[in-house]
Amino acid sequence: MATLIPAISSATRKMTGGERRFAHRLESHLEDDYLCWYDVPVGPRRMHPDFLVLHPRRGLLVVEVKDWKLDTIRKIDKLSVTLLVDGRERREANPLEQARQYAFGVCRLFESDSALVGEPGSACQGKLVFPWGYGVVLANIPRKAFEDTGLANVLPADRVICQDEMVETVEPETFQRRLWGMFGVTFRCLLTLPQIDRVRWHLFPEIRVTQG
């Protein structure tokens, strides 16, 4: 079972229904060596990506979750989406672009840490030693509806997990394939325990106070 930070029990009040279901699926369908963060403020700009998912051999994903229903989407392009909310149109950022920007911001933060980038003279000098990617969960839109409406023209299908792909009965292997299909680039990596601790510290600093 994956570890979620903070625990679902302490975050459930501010989670949407879709975020809660996705959080439960991360816990139940990923192995023990996965670390996941929900809505933690990241970096000096205090970005709030919905979910961050880390695996020592696969890398890091930034995932945005939307509870939209198909009939609430009025129009969408690569930068924005117009939704019908309480009888009024509301414009929001395209969630994939939002996830992409969060991913860039998180990676810039990690690249400032010499423990998480390639050593001088190496092929990945100054670059992260693990792959990263981003994607979107459409918690209330099934895959068939997603395909039939042409949403894939704006939200690439391999970067989207749909409603029927995150139900409790979905096979863990199927869920994981969808998750890791969100990577644009992959390469072999193996984060050490000290490196994982560095990632954890950047995302969710924990300070131990000793009594003197």
pLDDT at 44 over 80: no
To which residue do tokens 């129009």 refer?
Answer: 75
Average pLDDT over residues 14-41: 95
Rounded to 5, what percent of the chain is helix, strand, coil? 35, 25, 40
Predicted local confidence at residue 38, as pLDDT:
94
Tell me which H or E stretch contains 21: helix 17-29
Radius of gyration, alpha carbons of the chain: 18
Average pLDDT over residues 89-109: 94
Q: Phi and psi for 114 in degrees, rounded to 5? A: -65, -20
d(C-alpha 156, C-alpha 147), whole Å? 10
Q: What is the pLDDT of residues 173-191, one digit of tens each?
A: 999 999 999 998 888 899 9
d(C-alpha 183, C-alpha 133), whole Å? 4
Predicted local confidence at residue 136, as pLDDT:
98
pLDDT at 89 over 90: yes
Predicted local confidence at residue 130, as pLDDT:
94
Cis peptide before 6 (omega within 30 of 0): yes
Q: Which two tokens stand for residue 82?
A: 């117009």
pLDDT at 64 over 50: yes
d(C-alpha 196, C-alpha 52), whole Å? 13
d(C-alpha 3, C-alpha 33), whole Å? 8
pLDDT at 212 over 70: no
Average pLDDT of the chain?
91
Average pLDDT over residues 144-165: 94
Average pLDDT over residues 41-70: 92
Within 47-192, where are the H helices?
95-111, 143-148, 172-180
Predicted local confidence at residue 123, as pLDDT:
76
Predicted local confidence at residue 37, as pLDDT:
95
CB 106 within 8 A of CB 52: yes
Torsion of CA 104, 92, 149, 22, to 10 degrees: 60
